Chains A and B, each alone.
Chain A
Amino acid sequence: MSYTKRPDGRKFDETREIEAKVGIIKRADGSAMFRIGKTIALAAVYGPKELYPAFMQKSTTGILRCYYDMMSFSVTERKRPGPTRRSNEISMVTRDALLPVLDLSKFQNTVVDIFINVIQADAGTRCAGICAAAMALADAGIPMKDLVSSVSVGKVGDKIVVDLDKTEEDYEEGATDLPLAFMPGTGKVTLLQLDGNMSKDEIKKALEMGKKACEGIYKVQKEALKARYKK
């Protein structure tokens, strides 16, 4: 059976509606909201600040810590508050997705903390979190070589698609999820995961589609950052 039509009528290479806002959490040094379809992620950045305990400090550079979490009511079946194995792993890959654009070399012995929280989940939460976090880092004035834009691609039935929603992720005949992040300036990949079943050729096609989608997301992120300082 061929997968011919997406539940919400999108084209296969089309993302859901995207909305981004910078400067949403007043007490944070930088913050942003990123919404893609019904998935909403918030990110707040604190730092650079002194890092304790002191043995964790690096004398050559500042370090980045990432904490990804979902609110208990963001999903259909309540998630117990607090970190899980899943959220810990996502925190780690999120940090690795963001680190390549950061330059913390002038902030020796310090830490930059990023807190990501998902209010409403409809698949693609780690990607939305990365998009929000990248904007929050820029808002905090952390030196960056580039931004990071992220989207999930994958395969639903027999079709390669961009930005799967929850209905597509749960597609009966099988769906493959391939979360991606790119540095739009250089076109380099900083997040790459896959769950499911795809051939190498399909993956290559998915990467190309994801890269194109990230270029669109980058525009929205950039506009949101500019809007913050337009008055």
Chain B
Amino acid sequence: MNNYTKTVLESGVRFDGRKLDEFKKPIIIELGISKNAEGSAKVTWGETEVAVGIKMNVGTPYPDSPDKGVLITGAELAPMSSPDFETGPPGQQAIELARVVDRGIRESNMIDTKKLCIKEGELVWTVFLDIYILNDSGNLIDAAALAAVAALSNTVFPKLEGNQIKFGEFTKNKLPINLLPITSTAVKIGNKILVDPSLDEEKAIDARITVAVSEKGDIHAMQKGGSVGLTIDEVDQMIDLAIKKSKELRKLIK
């Protein structure tokens, strides 16, 4: 099947009729999918569906950043979302997914973590970002990152009394956001470079490059995946394509 995917792609055709640089349709962002979350969003991307929820709590800061809040990102490739996923603790794919999404948010300083400091060295806000894949029909990283950024930018603080959270009660204060990073992936299959692989294409991927890019065009995180080497020229082309496509995604989130 993988060889077949490659042969067909080499003739410039995708099984689903898309152009190489064309996203699946539709891409829909739904906000506020759980009233108990401080922020939440669901992204439907083609048939892929990802839910992200934000929960906040207070805790002690890390010793090396006593005046900054904490972001903790997790991902579950819920076995409900694909016959290929199994029950049990997150495996390598889930951990990579969470870490790549996390890095785009963290390294771009999307969240103004200094504003999450309550008392330096003692008490800061902790932001828990949890990703749940509901249906895996390919391109999970881009879909999850989009849902994560959408959820964070619609997150409000819970009520705080003294040093205790009043669970289930929310303020109207929004989480302080500096900028919106968009995470976008280009993949190489055979001699073609394309975006938004389908499930069949995903199985045939030779290499992928994911970038997290700001509105200014700065790249804040990168991840190469796949077990085939790339020339510098190919890396260049893939980053260009990923940045170009990130602009389309940015329009959806504004």
Contacts and interface: CB of A to CB of B under 8 A. Distances in A.
Most-contacted residue by chain B among A69, A77, A78 (CB, 10 A): A78
Interface string B14-46: 000000000000000000011111101000000
Contacts of B57: 78
A121 B33 CA distance: 11
Interface in B157-193: 165, 167-168
B34 A28 contact: no
Given A27-B137, A73-B40, A78 B83 contact: no
A39 to B, nearest CB: 11
A73 B36 contact: yes
A78 B55 contact: yes
Most-contacted residue by chain B among A71, A113, A122 (CB, 10 A): A71
A133 to B, nearest CB: 11
A131 B111 CA distance: 40
Contact of A120 (B36, B79, B82): B36
A77 B82 CA distance: 28
Contacts of B89: 82
Nearest to A26: B47
Interface string A96-131: 000000000000000001011101111000000000
Contacts of A38: 35
B76 interface: yes
A74 B53 CA distance: 8
Given A73-B53, A73-B55, A25 B81 contact: yes
Contacts of A77: 55, 165, 167
Nearest to A43: B80
Contact of B134 (A42, A67, A81, A121): A42
Contacts of A43: 80
B117 interface: no
Interface string A1-45: 000000000000000000000000111100100000010101110
Interface string B57-89: 100000000000000001010111111000101
A41 to B, nearest CB: 11
Interface string A61-80: 00000010101111111100
B60 to A, nearest CB: 17
Contact of B167 (A31, A74, A76): A76
A77 B168 CA distance: 7
A67 B34 contact: no
A81 B132 CA distance: 10
Q: How big is chain A's contact interface, by range?
A: 20 to 34
Contacts, number: 86
Contacts of A31: 80
A117 B78 contact: yes
A67 B87 contact: yes
Contacts of A81: 74, 76, 130
A117 B135 CA distance: 13
A164 B89 CA distance: 33
Interface in B116-174: 128, 130, 132, 134-137, 165, 167-168
A119 B34 contact: yes
Contacts of B35: 38, 120
A120 B34 contact: yes
Contacts of B34: 40, 71, 73-74, 119-120
Given A27-B81, A71-B53, A72-B128, A120 B33 contact: yes
Contacts of A49: 83
A118 to B, nearest CB: 9
21 contacts: A25-B81, A25-B135, A26-B137, A27-B137, A28-B80, A38-B35, A40-B34, A71-B53, A72-B55, A73-B40, A73-B130, A76-B168, A77-B167, A78-B57, A81-B76, A81-B130, A113-B79, A119-B33, A119-B51, A120-B33, A120-B34
Interface of A: 25-28, 31, 38, 40, 42-44, 46, 49, 67, 69, 71-78, 81-82, 113, 115-117, 119-122
